[in-house]
Structure 1
Amino acid sequence: MKNNKLTARNKRKSINLALWTAAWVLTIALVSFGYKFCYQSPVISIITISVNLLIGIGMIIANMKYLNGLDELQRKISLEAMGITLGVTLVVGLGYSMLDTTNVISNDAEISYLVIVMGLTYIVATVINNIKYK
């Protein structure tokens, strides 16, 4: 019975985290595409960026609650994946930035590529850790 309650609570926290994350991504799209296609107002940009930051804080809190609800093994898997992601993002991000600043690449270094590297690294590290610890 206790295990079922824990599973239901973790499921609710997972859904809550997913909703906060989706809202955050939508506000990023609103800021980015809204400015480009709907408005060119600094005032509206400040408002939408402020909303994005507030929703981002909500997402961080939801993530903390999610992590605190995990059992020891799940927490270990997640924290190791986060540590690997931090390291890869730092090393790749700085390398990518140096390629830009030394004009080895012709385009400006874009943060969106780094976010993709971060997301893919976290997913791969989580999958590998789940296989390793099961």
Structure 2
Amino acid sequence: MAWVLTMALIAFGPKFLWDNNDTLNLVGILVNFLAGIGMILANKKHLNDLDELQRKIQLEAMAITLGIAVVAGLSYSMLDVWNLISFDAEISHLVIIIGLTYLTGTIVGNLRYR
């Protein structure tokens, strides 16, 4: 939750809370980065606390997600580099693909190991 809040702060703060101040922007990005590290550590602890089956389901979902993110992300980037798409490749599109892939992988894993 802290990471999401700091991401929202740095995404919208320069426009709505302060006048695009480089110092405040840098501080916001650093705080977001540190919150992200905290999120990663909390996720690692959560995974270690799961039982073996849930850990297996999560690992499989993460493996599929990583593979799709790398392959789709690089392909998407190349489409943009070679102007084969009429819009700019945005990281938000890749984040959506990652989220949907992970969600699908988790659901399929839970259904498979019922």
TM range (shorter): over 0.9
| Partner residue, 1:116 | 96
Q: Within the alignment, does 1:132 sit opposite 2:86 as a pair? A: no
Partner of 1:32: 11
Matched residue pairs, number?
Answer: 113
**TM-score (normalised: structure 2):** 0.95
2:57 equivalent in structure 1? 77
TM-score, normalised with respect to structure 1: 0.81
Kindly provide the CA deviation profile for residues 66-86 of structure 1, in whole angstroms up to 9, marking residues without a partner as x.
000011000000000000000
User: Mind listing any 5+ residue stretches in structure 2 that lack a counterpart?
Assistant: none
| Cα offset, 1:37, TM superposition | 2.8
Report the RMSD for the aligned CA atoms in angstroms: 0.9
User: Partner of 1:51 in structure 2?
Assistant: 31
Q: Which runs of 5+ in 1 are unaligned?
A: 1-21
Q: Deviations over 1:80-118 (max 9, x none)?
A: 000000011111101110110000112221101100100
After alignment, is 52-61 or 26-35 more displaced? 26-35
Q: Which runs of 4+ in 1 moved over 2 A?
A: 36-39
The corresponding residue for 1:4 is none
1:91 to 54, 67, 71: 71
Q: Distance in 2 between matches of 1:46 and 1:74?
A: 38
Distance 1:53 1:66 in 2: 20
